[in-house]
Amino acid sequence: MIDTFIFTSNSESKTKQFAKDFAAKLDKNAVVVLTGELRFW
């Protein structure tokens, strides 16, 4: 099964908190692929 998550943030601290919470829920053998852009407006 493939799950897709879209996370948009304008805050470094919110991004780090999302990553921490997301990582805590992952299965030990999970494969995660991250793609995207860093933008500074």
CB 15, CB 9: distance < 8 Å: yes
pLDDT for the residue 41: 60
- Average pLDDT over the chain, rounded to an integer: 83
Tell me the C-alpha distance between 41 and 2, whole Å. 32
Tell me the C-alpha distance between 36 and 38, whole Å. 7
17-29 residue pLDDT tens:
988 998 999 998 9
CA angle 9, 20, 18 (to 5 degrees): 20
pLDDT for the residue 20: 93
Q: Is the pLDDT of residue 15 over 90?
A: no
Percent of the chain with pLDDT strictly greater than 70: 88
